[in-house]
Amino acid sequence: MTESTTHAVAVVGAGPAGLFATRALAAAGCRVLLLNRDIKPGGLAEYGIFLNKYKMKGGLRRQFSKILTDPRVTYLGHVAVGESGPLSVPALRAAGFDAVVFAIGAQGTKYLGIEGERLPGVYHAKDLVYHYNRLPPFSDCECEEIIAVARRGPHEKAYDDREFEDVEDAFDREAYRREVERIRPRLEAAGQSADELLKALAARPEAEDRCRARLTFRFLASPQRVITEGGRVVGLEIEETRLERKGERISAVGTGEISRIPCDTVVFAVGDRVDESVGLPYREGLYVTAPGAEQDPAAAYQVWDPSQGQPLADVFVVGWARRASDGVVGRARLDAETGIKHILKVLGSRPTRAPAEAERPVTAIMHELGKAGARPVTYEEVLRIEAAERERARRDGVEEFKFASDEEMLALLSS
Ligand SMILES: Cc1cc2nc3c(=O)[nH]c(=O)nc-3n(C[C@H](O)[C@H](O)[C@H](O)COP(=O)(O)OP(=O)(O)OC[C@H]3O[C@@H](n4cnc5c(N)ncnc54)[C@H](O)[C@@H]3O)c2cc1C
């Protein structure tokens, strides 16, 4: 690609993966149209990461702002691509971009498939976090007791010590000790040490401040059904499990013993899957990518149409859209940057265009959105919204204020 010629690329999704993908594409000289469902960019870095991590969020926002003010980049928020939005996947592809990169995260919800799982009073972890992130200022935890239910045992925990620090001040150490003793025979039957866990507990420093809430664990318990009475959640029915070793893997096997954990809210934190309604080939929680990634790593980013047995040559996925719920921002960024390296290689074998030609698909999308009656929000308009939020936070004397709905943000823009 020479200075005067370029490729035109659409990136769908402005979370960390989409933004870092955009940066890598723009740095390579591409003209980029970045479309985002939410009005504001940032994805889960804006609406997922815990709200009091101001420093981390601020740092990311500054990096994102640099990307979004690059003259090679046009940002349009409030544009959902897919069956339910103003722009379908075929319409986007028909605009004539050299590549379309989907970085739309893992918007779907995983369910265990148990009775009562979708009743009022039952939530998915992400819904809860979105809720908190929209309700500033978040004061303090209000639940009296949180019981973390896990099918397997403490040795199979999927969090690390740093992640646990965020909830340390609610952790009930004595209850944990009792729980380890309760399941000791089942741990030892699987060749695991209960004493090792108690030793690690003793070595853990006590939290300095106690939170009003109390966090306890219920290990070796497989959820069977959400119990309701008069339309309200009153408990979670669980089956006790034991651990079974299959090679390297430890799995939980039901013992047939059923018991009930009384509670008034159930939050499932069992992972995410991609949004199957978007209109990309989908299989078992993920978009389908080309086979043969072991020999050719680029295949893992190339969307594949199994009904035709061939790739959608111009369509790629990166970030959580490629591997649902896979790691933190740094990992989404690495995945996006690695994906773009492969995509640039593919583009290298395709003809470049003069800058005016690269504008054509961007103009075509603007036209398409106009026809569909959409109200895209530019990055300049996002900056206006953020300035109004900062002013409101200053007036209210809070660290951060965020408008809670699209309607409020759109009303501000039309005022
Ligand atoms: C509760 C929670 C807390 C977390 N805390 C941390 C933390 O403290 N530190 C850390 O490093 N990481 C944290 N993470 C992980 C981090 O948020 C992810 O690694 C990262 O956001 C994934 O980036 P992504 O761009 O792939 O997806 P997302 O961040 O999900 O971004 C997807 C983007 O795509 C857009 N989109 C979705 N569907 C469409 C569509 N159909 N059309 C157009 N646009 C669409 C969305 O609007 C969004 O902007 C947390 C995640 C969660 C869920």
pLDDT tens per residue, range 26-46: 999 999 999 999 999 999 898
* 118 φ/ψ angles, rounded to the nearest 5 degrees: -115, 20
**Ligand 1, atom 49: closest residue by C-alpha:** 43
CA of 42 to the centre of ligand 1 (A): 7
Helix (H, G, I), strand (E, B) or coil at 125: helix
Taking 90 as the threshold, does the pLDDT of residue 282 lie above it?
Answer: yes
Tell me what pLDDT residue 158 has: 84
pLDDT above 70: percentage of residues in the chain: 96
Residues in contact with 216: Cβ distance below 8 Å, sequence separation at least 6, in sequence order: 145, 146, 147, 148, 172, 175, 176, 179
- Tell me which H or E stretch contains 403: none
How much distance in Å is there from the Cα of 318 to the middle of ligand 1?
A: 12
Q: Calculate how far, in angstroms, residue 105's C-alpha sits from the geometric centre of ligand 1.
A: 6
* Helix, strand counts (H, E) of the chain: 12, 17
pLDDT averaged over the chain? 91
DSSP secondary structure letters along 127-153: HHHHHHHTSSSP-----SEEEEE-SS-
Average pLDDT over residues 69-92: 95
Per residue in 164-216, pLDDT tens?
Answer: 887 888 999 999 999 999 999 999 999 999 999 999 999 988 877 777 789 99
In percent, the amount of the chain with pLDDT more than 90 equals 72
The pLDDT value recorded for residue 389 is 95
Confidence of residue 412 (pLDDT cuts 50, 70, 90): very high
Q: Identify the H or E element spanning 375.
A: none
Percent of the chain as helix, strand, coil, to the nearest 5: 40, 25, 35
In this structure, the residue with its CA closest to atom 14 of ligand 1 is 328
> Mean pLDDT lowest for which of 212-221, 234-243, 372-381?
212-221
Confidence of residue 133 (pLDDT cuts 50, 70, 90): low
pLDDT for residue 49: 79
Pick 337 or 3 by higher pLDDT.
337
pLDDT score of 167: 85
Task: Indicate the pLDDT class of residue 161, thresholds 50, 70 and 90.
Answer: confident
> In this predicted structure, what is the pLDDT of residue 141?
38
In the structure, what pLDDT confidence band is assigned to residue 313 with cuts at 50, 70 and 90?
Answer: very high
Query: Which residue type, as a one-letter code, is found at position 104?
Result: I
pLDDT at 130 over 70: yes
* 140: confidence class by pLDDT, cuts 50, 70, 90: very low
Distance (angstroms) between ligand 1 centre and the Cα of 338 equals 18
Task: Please state whether beta strands 99-102 and 310-317 pair in parallel, antiparallel, or not at all (unpaired).
Answer: parallel
Residue with the bigger pLDDT between 3 and 73: it is: 73
- For a mutational test of ligand 1's pocket, the pick from 22, 23, 44, i.e. the residue with the most ligand atoms closer than 8 A to its C-beta, is 44
In this prediction, residue 2 carries a pLDDT of 54
Residue 221 has pLDDT above 60, yes or no: yes
User: Are the C-beta atoms of residues 165 and 234 closer than 8 Å to each other?
Assistant: no
pLDDT for 135 equals 32
Closest ligand 1 atom to Cα of 326: 19
pLDDT at 138: 25
Q: Which tens digits make up the pLDDT trace of 46-59?
A: 888 777 788 898 99
Contact 34, 76 (CB under 8 A): yes
Say which residues have a Cβ less than 8 Å from residue 115's Cβ, sequence separation at least 6: 224, 225, 226
Over range 292-311, report the average pLDDT.
95
Cα-flanking dihedrals φ and ψ of residue 393, to 5°? -65, -40
Intra-chain end-to-end CA distance of the chain, in Å: 44
Pick the residue whose CA is nearest to atom 2 on ligand 1. 48
CB 18 within 8 A of CB 73: no
Which atom, in ligand 1's list, is nearest to the CA of 322?
26
CA distances for 316 relative to 17, 88, 360, angstroms: 12, 16, 21
E strands present in 167-231: 214-218, 221-229
Contact 43, 105 (CB under 8 A): yes
Pocket of ligand 1 (CB under 6 A): 12-18, 35-38, 43-45, 48-50, 53, 80-82, 85, 103-105, 107, 126, 129, 275, 278, 319-321, 327-329, 332
- Give the distance (Å) from ligand 1 centre to CA of residue 15: 5
Round to whole Å and give the CA distance between 403 and 386.
9
In testing the pocket of ligand 1, which one of 328, 369, 377 has its CB within 8 Å of the most ligand atoms?
Answer: 328
- HSE at residue 291, side-chain half, CA atoms within 13 A, is 4
